[in-house]
Structure 1
Amino acid sequence: MSVRLGLLALLGEGSAGVYRLRKDFESRTGGTWPLNIGQVYTTIQRLERDGFIEPAAADSEVEEYRLTESGAAELAQWWATPVARDHPGRDELVIKIALAVTAPGVDVAAIVQAQRTESMRSLRDYTRLKARTGTEDPDDLAWSLVLDNLVFAAEAEIRWLDHIEAAVVRAAGRPTPRRGAGTAAHDDVADERSSR
């Protein structure tokens, strides 16, 4: 999630100070993505530098910010543009599994089982939270939708782990090719080394 755009969205509702922005961001997302106050300050400074926000009239002791016309246009563009999925973020679990299935001596089944247990624990916790969340208050609805995403992601992860387990079992029945084998260039180099 772009903190920059999230803060613009909050400022689109009216002027606010840094602490309120942090509190509102965390409240709307149920604390799923906690923000460091320094991160909020830095982001606000960049938004001001880029002309998207400006200090609001000083009616209170707290310095507040508001959107500029450029900021409102940037926010409208964000609302209108779908989130691109062509560059997925790095997922530690995906990297771990991809490396584990190619590393000698690694018990992939044990990794998958340990992760499944953790993913099921997370799913149970998210489901319990979901059962206690109302949708009458807009903040509750926002948190409920975040929880839906977490539940669906945990369910998908468990299905993916089941798929990995089946794929590893199928692969165990086939001979494992030598790392890097299968290309003409690799075979030529191997032949050259063996003739020395």
Structure 2
Amino acid sequence: MSIRHGLLALLDRGPRYGYQLRVEFEAATGGTWPLNIGQVYTTLARLERDGLVEPGGADEQGRAVYAITGAGREELERWFGTPVAPGDRPRDELVIKIAMAVAGGAVDVAEVIQAQRAATMRALQELTRTKRAATGGLAERLVIDSSIFKAEAEQRWLDHCEAVSKEKSS
């Protein structure tokens, strides 16, 4: 999820000030995507420049609030209506690492796989603990579930890599 669209989604629920957006963004993502307050205000400035949000005055404590514009709602609808393509996601460093280990030949591929497997298992255990302790509602649970499913898929892929590399070496 882009920070830009995440902030628009929060502003679609009503005007918000920067720190409020940061807290709500982190709560909605189960804390898996922490934001620096500077990122929030930089993104708000760009959204304002692009006509997607506008300053909405100040709240009772004098904090500057922002509101989504009609163009912002249209952008948000477009974003929600557009599937995320695999090519839109960042490159996977683990895939590159395993590929380079296999291609290089000087690295023990099994050791690389085993080290990652152990790290992924620790992450999976921590995610399971986090899920049990979660109190943030459905949005937080879905974010944590996504991370769990990705870790489980990574474990299956590592098993596959190990099996295929053993086949090739025999």
Q: How far has the Cα of 1:59 moved from its partner?
A: 4.0
2:168 alignment partner, SS class: helix
For residues 62 and 99 of structure 1, what CA distance do their matches in structure 2 show?
51
Q: Mean alpha-carbon deviation: is it higher for 53-62 or for 151-160?
A: 53-62
Structure 2 unaligned runs (5+)? Answer: none
Partner of 1:127: 128
Aligned to 1:21: 21
Q: Which has the larger radius of gyration?
A: 1
1:118 corresponds to: 119
Aligned to 1:34: 34
Q: Displacement of 1:124 after TM fit?
A: 1.1
1:87–1:64 CA distance, 2 compared to 1 (3 A): closer
C-alpha spacing 1:54/1:88, structure 2 compared with 1 (3 Å): closer
SS of the residue corresponding to residue 51 of structure 1 reads coil
| Structure 1 match to 2:3 | 3
Cα distance change, pair 15–87 in 1 and its aligned pair in 2 (3 A)? closer
* TM-score normalised over the length of structure 2: 0.94
1:155 equivalent in structure 2: 152
Give CA deviations for 1:43-74 in whole Å, capped at 9, x if unaligned: 00000000000001334300000011101111
| Alignment deviations for residues 124-167 of structure 1 (CA, whole Å, 9 cap, x no partner) | 11112222335xxxx42111111110110010000000000011
Distance 2:120 2:142 in 1: 19
Residue number in structure 2 paired with 1:170: 167
Corresponding residue of 1:68: 69
CA distance change for structure 1 residues 87 and 78 in 2, over 3 Å: closer, same or farther? closer
Aligned-pair RMSD on alpha carbons? Answer: 1.3
Structure 1: 5+ residue stretches without partners: 174-196
Cα distance between partner residues in 2 of 1:58 and 1:102: 58
CA distance change for structure 1 residues 129 and 58 in 2, over 3 Å: closer, same or farther? closer
Distance of 1:24 and 1:87 partners within structure 2: 25
Give SS of 2:57's match. Answer: coil
Amino-acid identity (%):
54
**CA distance in 2 between partners of 1:152 and 1:53 (Å):** 35
The equivalent residue for 2:96 is: 95
Q: For 2:115 and 2:59, how far apart are their aligned partners in 1? A: 55
Question: Normalised by the size of structure 1, how large is the TM-score?
Answer: 0.82
